[in-house]
A and B are shown apart, each in its own frame.
Chain A
Amino acid sequence: MRRQRGTWVRYLLLTLAAAVFAFPFYYMVVGAFQESPTNTPDQLLPTSGWTLDNFAAIDSRINLIGSLGNSLIFTAGVLLGTATFGLLAGYAMARLDFRGRGATWVLMLLVQMVPFQLLMIPLYVQITRGFGLGDTYLGMILPFAINTTAVFIFTQFFRALPQEMFEAARIDGASELRILRSIAVPLVKPALTTVVLVTFIGPWNEFLWPFLITKDATLQPLAVSLANYISNVAQSTANPNGAILAGATTLAFPVVILFCLFQRYFTASNIGSAVKG
């Protein structure tokens, strides 16, 4: 009897919490398609007033498609750098004995500990003034180009493969490059999926760095142009709420879809530091 009551309390607690967690998303998606998003509780289940105008409204001010394209280029650049150089580094750390291995390991740990905010000013000086990469895609991508968490994931993956596979290839006289190409890379797919998912959310959601480095609105990713809309344009617009929610939905949608499709690939240990940078 008492146990039963405990179960009820548990379900009640979880359902209540889940409702609090899900409600802002419901409000965001419904509001994005409403002529005027409601501010009163009795209109939370609208039956009429559906429209796509909000998307047109925000598109006319921040160029939704262009911003999405910039987000995509930014994210793709980071993914490309991480998938190639991160894979190489992870493979070397896991499977090869070479000069500088210990030092690389120490650096990997160091990167996890240094907060990006401390590096913000020197990186800004270095990349805009030193390299002259302000207002470029490269300048946007560079600080995130190789995700260290991804290097850890690759390292763990290659370490878990049986040693005999690599030894046998070496005894057969295969070169290290060939072992990498014909054994390591073809096997990497599961690790690569995790890496892509974990790496994707970092640059896609990133606001601070692209905000610092881009003055040119045609280069800004969606997170930055939406933020500009919220902080500057919205005040001078008659009814900005629907447009804000339409922009927020557009920015949130790809990640939510990816997460729901690939739920099992997301684990706590992977994602923690990926988002950190």
Chain B
Amino acid sequence: MSTASGELRTTRQRWWGRQPIGTLFALPYLVFVLAIFAYPLGFAVYIAFHDYYFTAPGVDVPKPFVGFDNFAAVLTDPQVLEAFRNIGVFLVINVPLTVVLSLVLATALNAGIRWAAAYRIAFYVPYLTASVSLVGVWMLLFSSGGLVNAVLGPLAPDPSWLVSSTLAMPTIALFVTWKQLGFYILLYLAALQSVPRELHESAETDGANAWQRFRNVTVPGVRATTVLVLVLAIITGANLFTEPYLLTNGGGPDGASVTPVLLIYQRGIQQQNPDTAAAIGMLLVIVVGVLSLAANRINRER
């Protein structure tokens, strides 16, 4: 009798685990993730491959499978191509600036400096502050009659920063570099603590100067973090929405700062074409994935 119930107990334990109540504890989170992430993820793929449109509630119209039609439409749309090109311009400016500045500033901070906490706060606060607030401030600073142009005087660009088709995207790239830098500095600070001090010391005894030590000890020592910084900067850059929406007044001038996410919003929600919007979303994820893999690759090969 007791062995039988003992056996039953072990089978039950093997299936439900030793504390089956854990399933109940984790259940709200599981339901949340399935409903808010997993299901919409599948739904996004479904929408992208169907002729999907919004209907009045309760009306059920066929939404036929159309294969790659939405992708074909998106890939031949000059505005979509321009949005991806704009992201390219953004990344070419933002990514190198981010990596170089955050590593240099983190190295300077790490060298045992007075008021390190105050510097850290100054660098970090823009990262924590709402984009909408900071965009408002930058918009005023960089407007035609703004403070930046007043300081530059005759050197001020004409047309001004945010209304110039060549400068709009670079200005956004500068803004995002400024806003995000503090976070990357913290990542590098954490990584720098794990670079062994002896390496620096022995390089110094071998007569390496500060630049040589930075180049040959610090940079290789934080390589794994550099990959992380690259990938995160690429993801952030690919997901731009608030900046072109507000800073350049909806991707202006004339689409020069339009981004894929801004297009997803305009196509999917304003113009009610969720199918092409979902296709742009999938393309964006593929592009980000490929770029992240490439960043990882380049770093491994060196």
Contact = CB atoms under 8 A, between A and B. Distances in A.
Contact of A40 (B44, B150, B288): B150
B241 to A, nearest CB: 6
A183 B135 CA distance: 46
Contacts of A92: 22-23, 25-26
Q: Which 4 A-B pairs have the closest CB atoms?
A: A98-B22, A96-B22, A89-B29, A268-B186
Given A21-B182, A272-B232, A111 B261 contact: no
Nearest to A180: B25
Interface stretch (B84-92, B275-283, B294-302): B275-283
Interface string A234-264: 0000000100110111011001100110010
Given A96-B22, A252-B130, A272-B183, A111 B44 contact: no
Contacts of A249: 133
Given A28-B137, A89-B26, A201-B128, A114 B41 contact: yes
Given A6-B210, A39-B147, A201-B128, A99 B15 contact: yes
B121 A260 contact: yes
Contacts of A93: 26
A47 B210 CA distance: 45
Contact of B178 (A21, A148, A230): A21
A37 B145 CA distance: 12
A159 interface: no
Interface residues of A, number: 95
Given A97-B17, A98-B21, A121-B277, A21 B130 contact: no
A100 B30 contact: yes
Interface string A167-179: 0000000001100
A104 B29 contact: yes
Interface stretch (A8-16, A49-57, A186-194): A8-16
Interface string B9-25: 00000011111111101
A22 interface: yes
Contacts of A103: 30
Interface in B94-125: 101, 104-105, 108-109, 111, 113, 117-119, 121-125
Interface residues of B, number: 96
Contacts of B118: 18
Q: Is the interface of A mostly helix, strand, loop or mixed?
A: helix
Interface stretch (B165-173, B215-223, B264-272): B264-272
A14 B147 contact: no
A107 interface: yes
Given A98-B23, A104-B30, A226 B117 contact: no
Nearest to A10: B108
A230 B21 contact: no
A3 B181 CA distance: 27
A21 B181 CA distance: 10
A107 B189 contact: no
Given A99-B23, A244-B140, A119 B111 contact: no
A167 to B, nearest CB: 12
B293 interface: no
B125 A41 contact: no
A207 B57 contact: no
Given A11-B113, A98-B20, A118 B26 contact: no
Given A114-B41, A115-B235, A256-B125, 11 more contacts: A98-B19, A121-B274, A124-B268, A125-B43, A125-B54, A126-B43, A143-B36, A145-B36, A247-B136, A249-B133, A251-B133
A170 to B, nearest CB: 9
Contact of B139 (A98, A104, A230): A230
A212 interface: yes
